[in-house]
Structure 1
Amino acid sequence: MNLTEYVQLVSQEDFGRHFKHQAQWNNRLRSTGGRFFPKDGHLDFNPKVYQELGLDIFRKIVRHELCHYHLYFEGRGYQHKDQDFKEILKEVDGLRFVPSLPNSNSKPLKLYRCQSCQQSYQRKRRIDTKRYRCGICRGQLIQINQTKD
């Protein structure tokens, strides 16, 4: 069974409606499980979510994207902020957010501490400690965990 056939099956079983467009894998997706394209009606899905989180989580992501799809073609509110979307997503037990992938290559946080008041800061990016000071007492910052950038 290919991806489009699987999405058609989920649409019929969980929504009682037909899915008439294409579904495809998109390896470039990083932080999202799928996307709906109103312009042509197709759906993109992140293959890593299926591979690393399994079919149960992936089916909930398919339901999420199908909520966008069906609401859009019915002329109802299909965006995350719309009440129609929130209600249908809850009815079909779709996921609001994708759980983080276990093998995601996120960079470790850099930890800084003020030498005067001991206030600690976490940052994704490196801070120039000669240029920036503590926001509380204006003391000098030092990096606690030394990482190679």
Structure 2
Amino acid sequence: MDQIKLQAFVEEQSLSVFSKPFRHKATFNKRLKTTGGRYFLNTHNLDFNPLVLEVLGMDIFEGVVKHELCHYHLHLEGKGHRHQDADFKALLKEVGGLRFTPALKERKPVEQLWKYQCSDCGQLYHRKRRVNTEKYVCSNCRGRLKLLGKEAIQNRS
């Protein structure tokens, strides 16, 4: 989809779903990495991440367009257009827009961390690097640390 088709698609969605015209610019922005789209308060233009369409498909992209159009129409009407506003949540639910864009990148792989336990109080520690158990002690009770081995931890980002 190119810029002209995107503009026509957003205008068509605005008329069919919201029964209101979209009179500003809609563009693809390849620099967007973590978001599906963006609404500009000053210019009323919309930016969309082209990866949403390429990676996740047309259904998800349509949900993102509806989400941004909710911001657009509510802001122009002087109603609550922010994510936490009741007007926004109600309109988004009514039109079937997406609340969040699904992740575009795969999650980072599992990370291996060293696991230690205090021999006195049982406190657990996870460290990326090995710790010299002769030199370092428990921060709670100053007891000796015991190496339990490596443990796989799923990264959050």
Q: State whether TM-score is above 0.5.
A: yes
Alignment pair present for 1:24 and 2:27: yes
Residues 40-77 of structure 1: per-residue CA shift (max 9 Å, x gap): 01101010000111111100100000000000000000
Q: Give the residue type in structure 2 aligned to 1:55.
A: M
TM-score where L is the length of structure 2:
0.75
Q: Give the residue type in structure 2 aligned to 1:34.
A: G
Helix, strand or coil for the counterpart of 2:52? helix
TM-score where L is the length of structure 1:
0.78
Give the match for residue 98 of structure 1. Answer: 101
1:1-149 equivalences in 2 (<5 Å): 2-101=5-104, 104=105, 106-116=107-117, 119=124, 127=128, 129-130=130-131, 139=145, 144=151
1:137/1:115 CA distance change after superposition, 3 Å: farther
| Offset at residue 28 of structure 1 (A) | 1.1
Q: Give the residue type in structure 2 aligned to 1:112.
A: L
CA distance in structure 2 between the aligned counterparts of 1:93 and 1:135, rounded to whole angstroms: 51
1:134/1:86 CA distance change after superposition, 3 Å: farther
Moved more, 136-145 or 64-73: 136-145
CA distance in structure 2 between the aligned counterparts of 1:34 and 1:134, rounded to whole angstroms: 47
The structure carrying a bigger strand percent of its residues is 2
1:87/1:128 CA distance change after superposition, 3 Å: same
The structure whose Rg is larger is: 2
Contact kept in structure 2, 1:30 and 1:46, CA below 8 Å: yes
Q: Mind listing any 5+ residue stretches in structure 1 that lack a counterpart?
A: none
CA distance in structure 1 between the aligned counterparts of 2:72 and 2:110, rounded to whole angstroms: 37
Q: Mind listing any 5+ residue stretches in structure 2 that lack a counterpart?
A: 153-157
Residues 103-130 of structure 1: per-residue CA shift (max 9 Å, x gap): x265434232422259475xxxx84554
CA distance in structure 2 between the aligned counterparts of 1:115 and 1:130, rounded to whole angstroms: 9
- Which structure 1 residue ranges, 4+ long, deviate > 3 Å from structure 2? 117-121, 126-145
CA distance in structure 1 between the aligned counterparts of 2:138 and 2:51, rounded to whole angstroms: 40
Aligned length: 139
